[in-house]
Amino acid sequence: MTAEAFGRGRAPDGRSSYDTLCDRVADSRRVLDLGCGDGLLLEFLARPGRKLSGVDLSSHSLALARHRPALFEAELVEGRAQELPFGDDSFDACVSHMALMLMSGIEQVAAEVARVLSPGGVLAGVVGGGAVGGEAYERFLTLLRHTIEEMPASQRIPTLGDKRTRTREGLDGVLAPAGFAAVDWETIPIDLSGPVEHVWATVSGLYDLGPLDRATVAQLRTAFFAEVRDMTTPGGQVPCALKIHLVTARLL
């Protein structure tokens, strides 16, 4: 979901969440992307003289990243954020787009990020902030929740990550012991509106749909199309938005 949805999603200023995140590390020469996926954020960050590195659990996603021309010289490594395969003081900045909130052992992640950052280095990330009320994403989440509740517990994906990463106070509590200053926290709405097929493609990319069989997904799709019919504009646009939190913390 992340690359496809947020690549076309726009904040009120007309830019993507990737653009906004890049602003937070504009002066950094050595940048690590934590949970880099297929490399879209790294591609946004690429510029002459900047050293880029990325780490991800997925060898498939890293293979896709290596095919991006802008990343031919980037260091892309399969590994875990809880045990980063990089030396101390290797980076001026660490970024993470919609990944930090899904990681377990978040205190260890914070300690590892602090270890690989130089003093004064920046951790900047985007974490999910939930639905904007009254739009298609909120209705989809309601349908999805009801669908999952009807499934046997053994077939549900467990809750991922640590809920402390989704609030300013919680993230401060995680990062402060690792040596970071207080978190700067900004909430931004991201517009993902479009034709119903496009909106469905966006919301149906959520990892929660992984355990669902094709028949169940098809039923969910039918229910979603019916649910958003009343909000579809005469021009065929379905309003869809969610909130992100843009967070930044500097290593003391």
Residues in the chain: 252
Number of domains in the chain: 1
Average pLDDT over residues 229-233: 97
Tokens, residue 186: 């900004």
pLDDT digit string, tens, across residues 35-87: 999 999 999 999 999 999 999 999 999 999 999 999 999 999 999 999 999 99
CA distance 252 to 143: 44
Q: Which residues pair with 184 in a beta bridge?
A: 248
pLDDT for the residue 1: 57
User: Which amino acid would we find at residue 5?
Assistant: A
pLDDT for the residue 211: 75
Nearest CA to 35 among 123, 118, 128, 98? 98
pLDDT digit string, tens, across residues 136-151: 999 999 999 998 888 8
pLDDT for the residue 27: 95
Residue 121 has pLDDT above 80, yes or no: yes
Nearest CA to 245 among 189, 203, 196? 189
pLDDT for the residue 149: 87
Percent of the chain clearing pLDDT 70 (strictly above): 98
pLDDT for the residue 99: 93
pLDDT digit string, tens, across residues 167-197: 999 999 999 999 999 999 999 999 999 999 9
Containing structural domain, residue 103? 2-250
Percent of the chain clearing pLDDT 90 (strictly above): 83
CA 171 distance to own-chain centroid: 16
How far are the Cα atoms of 10, 92, 149, 171, 183 from residue 245, in angstroms, in the given order? 14, 22, 28, 11, 11
Largest Cα–Cα distance in the chain? 56
> In the block, which residue shows the tokens 């297929």?
38
The answer to whether 95 and 124 have CB atoms below 8 angstroms apart is: yes
How far are the Cα atoms of 44, 172, 220 from residue 249, in angstroms, in the given order? 21, 9, 39
Instruction: Write the CATH number for 46.
Output: 3.40.50.150
Name which of 45-54, 130-139, 208-217 the model is least confident about.
208-217
Nearest CA to 141 among 18, 10, 12, 241? 241
Nearest CA to 122 among 189, 45, 65? 45
